[in-house]
Structure 1
Amino acid sequence: MLQDVEWLKSITTLPILLKGIVTAEDARKAVEAGAAGVIVSNHGARQLDYAPATISVLEEVVKAVGGAVPVLVDGGIRRGTDVFKALALGARAVMVGRPVFYGLAARGEAGARHVIEMLNAELELAMALCGCRSVGEVTRAHVVTEGDRIRALL
């Protein structure tokens, strides 16, 4: 990974973000290699049908980078509440592919725009229901994960 990032940095001045990060170890390696950010992604779960869901590994990756670089999440974002959960678990931003492409296929540019507007409206509703006036007010305290549920039983 280090050699690849070094090579990429030698041919461009653009920031290098590494995609496909699903473990804390890979996240730390990405930071050590000089990546400007990491993208938590299982490539749409198309490559390995048993790959972990991005939302389930997001918090681990965020903790591993310790704020050194931004963490984005790609995969599994279908509703505004998914955006809310990702932000609450520490993602700086989300990437949305499939829903936008479905909108594009159905109604062209207007369909893609509609999907983005719908995600935004759902995010705003989730924020309002949680008492958040801005994205900056969304915190870890706003979500309960499967891990939280298991720890509560112990």
Structure 2
Amino acid sequence: MVAPQLKNFEGILSTDVNSDIEWLKSITNLPILIKGVLTHEVARKAVEVGFSGIVVSNHGGRQLDYTPTTISVLEKVVDAVGGKVPVLLDGVRRGTDVFKALALGAQAVLVGRPVIYGLAANRECGVRRVIEMLKDEFELTMALCGCPGVMDITKSHVRTECDKLHSML
């Protein structure tokens, strides 16, 4: 995890992740998470340098249109971390996304755009409605999968790319 030397930021930004993390830890007691992790290698390195958690995110696919979907890399990131730090999934749009993320090992999810849309459409009431819709969809998905509680959600409830490949063979 070494940032490229950017000539237009020379002397302004540090590219030493270890010293940056140490500096952040020295000024706050809050956990420090890294967002934008899409590979197991970066996940392992993030744990090594002292991040408190990982957010699997492709920033909505807006930065690079060819990045992998977050759900497709989540399981490998979770495995790489080995339970040492929490892994969160960014980019949730539906209750089924929440279910899949939990099934593949995420401890939590982040909801960004849908909440902003709700806020723009109907202020606080719009945000409440978005959260209610996510909750209702999540609970329906749990019921349809036979999961009475969150702890009952397992990887066996979802198919991964490897599972799809094996079924084609």
TM interval, shorter chain, is: over 0.9
Residue identity matched to 2:138 = L
Partner of 2:70: 54
Residue identity matched to 1:4 = D
Quote how far apart the aligned CAs of 1:148 are: 1.2
Taking the aligned partners of 2:72 and 2:99, their CA distance within structure 1 comes to 14
Aligned residues: 153
Give 2:88's match in structure 1, choosing from 72, 89, 93: 72
Percent of pairs identical after alignment? 68
Q: CA RMSD in A?
A: 0.9
Give 1:90's match in structure 2, choosing from 105, 108, 129: 105
Quote how far apart the aligned CAs of 1:31 are: 0.5
Residue identity matched to 1:53 = T
SS of the equivalent of 1:13 reads coil
Partner of 2:134: 119
- TM-score, normalisation: structure 2: 0.88
Quote how far apart the aligned CAs of 1:38 are: 0.4
Report runs of 4+ in structure 1 exceeding 3 Å deviation. none
Taking the aligned partners of 2:90 and 2:74, their CA distance within structure 1 comes to 10
Quote how far apart the aligned CAs of 1:146 are: 2.4
Taking the aligned partners of 2:114 and 2:94, their CA distance within structure 1 comes to 9
Partner of 2:9: none
Structure 2 unaligned blocks of 5 or more = 1-16
Partner of 1:100: 115
Matched, 1:148 2:163: yes
User: Deviations for 1:68-89, whole angstroms, at most 9, x for unmatched residues?
Assistant: 01000102x1110011001101
Larger Rg computed on CA atoms? 2
Partner of 2:143: 128
- TM-score, normalisation: structure 1: 0.96
Residue identity matched to 1:66 = G
